[in-house]
Amino acid sequence: MQFHYFDHNATTPVSPEVLRALMPSLAEVYGNASSIHHFGQLAKQHLETARRQVAALIHCNATEVVFTSGGTEADNLAILGTVRPETPGTTQHVITTAIEHPAVMNTCAQLEREGVTVTYVPVGASGIVDPDAIRRALRRDTVLVSVMHANNELGTVQPIAEIARFTRPAGVCLHADGVQALGKIPVDVQALGVDLYSMSGHKIYAPKGVGALYVRKGTRIHSIGFGGHHERERRPGTENVPGAMALGRAAEWVQENLAGEAERLGALRDRLERGILARIAMAGVNGVEPRVPNTSNMYFEHVEGEALVIALDLRGFAVSSGSACSSGAVEPSHVLTAIGLTPERARSSIRFSLGHSNTAEQVDALIDAVADAVGHLRKISPVTHAHA
């Protein structure tokens, strides 16, 4: 049986282009980038090349890029590194949304345990936050606003540039979790007006274990770890040079191919949704435009999402019932309940996220598999019979 991968928002396979850059680096670029001898300086050169490649993708200066172990660390560094250094004893306030990734939600929860006040702005049925709601939540003691650029479950794109119009004049730091936007839509941190922007390699066909944080020049941020003086005092620890090189090559590929790939994936995503809605009753799409082009979150009444994920896996298709970082949770997705779905509908939803390898033929086969699996699960569902 052939297997087809439709879970690229969880992680992406390492691309051939990235693999060709990564493999020699593991064998040949083994020096410590902090060492002053030949091997160390060779590693340093490759590290700085990768930094420039990432910077070029998001339109910033290379000195504003901090390499991390991934999106979660980048989010933690952005949030904790901005809020914790504030003068002890002063009141501090953070604003975020109700649909953030656990890397942001749980970091904000930790700040609350440390005495920081956090406002979680609702988003409504659209899955998109109202910039004016962010403006109304601003207070004199607000030190940070953190809003994701694109939602990992819905794909909805948040109005970051509009939010920046309120935060910048107020002198409030603006962080965007860009993990699910990078590589899917154009990212220009200058146009967005953000002070901090989180990125992850394994979402753009680089390996797991490497990411980056954009830190706008002049932004006050402190390291949240302790060690050496790496990454301009912002992130201690010997740099993952091969990982950075892989991320740099992935960023370079995205810059060269984004427009065409986004158009292709958007057409495939629309084909998938149209095909499913034409074949299956009592189904629909969660979230509205604008969305990243590769993501579709759909509900199927009287079907358990987890059961549908398993049924599709048995038919050779990998999909997801929500955020991979919170899989195994008994509670329905906090994102889907935040946009007003009942727990039952939230549990009946699954996410399709497309990528480089997906084709129209695979999409058509997936439509057939979803129709077959939903039909079978509804036949054996006691809920369906109760409503018959």
Query: How does pLDDT run across 9-65, given as a tens digit for each residue?
Result: 999 999 999 999 999 999 999 999 999 999 999 999 999 999 999 999 999 999 999
The per-residue pLDDT for 88 is: 67
Q: Could you report the per-residue pLDDT of 234-290, keeping only the tens digit for each?
A: 999 999 999 999 999 999 999 999 999 999 999 999 999 999 999 999 999 999 899
In this predicted structure, what is the pLDDT of residue 241? 97
pLDDT digits 0-9 by tens, 109-144: 999 999 999 999 999 899 999 999 999 999 999 999
C-alpha 88/C-alpha 95 separation (Å) is 19
Residue matched to tokens 């928002």: 9
pLDDT value at residue 197: 98
Q: Beta strand pairing status for 196-200 and 93-97?
A: unpaired
Q: What is the model's pLDDT at position 384?
A: 55
DSSP H helices in the chain: 16-28, 38-58, 71-83, 102-113, 131-137, 160-170, 189-192, 230-233, 241-279, 305-314, 334-338, 343-347, 360-380, 382-387
CB-based contacts of 74, cutoff 8 Å, min separation 6: 66, 68, 179, 198, 199, 200, 211, 212, 213
Give me the pLDDT at residue 340, please. 96
Architecture of domain 4-11+258-387: Alpha-Beta Complex (3.90)
Active site (catalytic) residues: 325
Domain boundaries, the chain: 4-11+258-387, 16-254
Q: 216 and 188 in contact (C-beta within 8 Å)?
A: no
- Say yes or no to pLDDT of 328 above 60: no
Say what the alpha-carbon torsion angle 303, 306, 310, 312 is, to the nearest 10 degrees: 60
Q: What is the distance between the alpha carbons of residues 152 and 179, in angstroms, rounded to a whole number?
A: 8
Residues 335 and 151: beta-carbon distance below 8 Å: yes
| CA dihedral of residues 22, 25, 30, 31 (deg, nearest 10) | -110
In this structure, CATH architecture of domain 16-254: 3-Layer(aba) Sandwich (3.40)
Query: Can you read off the two tokens belonging to residue 94?
Result: 């953070």
Q: How many CB atoms lie within 10 A of CB 3?
A: 9
Query: Which has the higher per-residue pLDDT, 330 or 195?
Result: 195
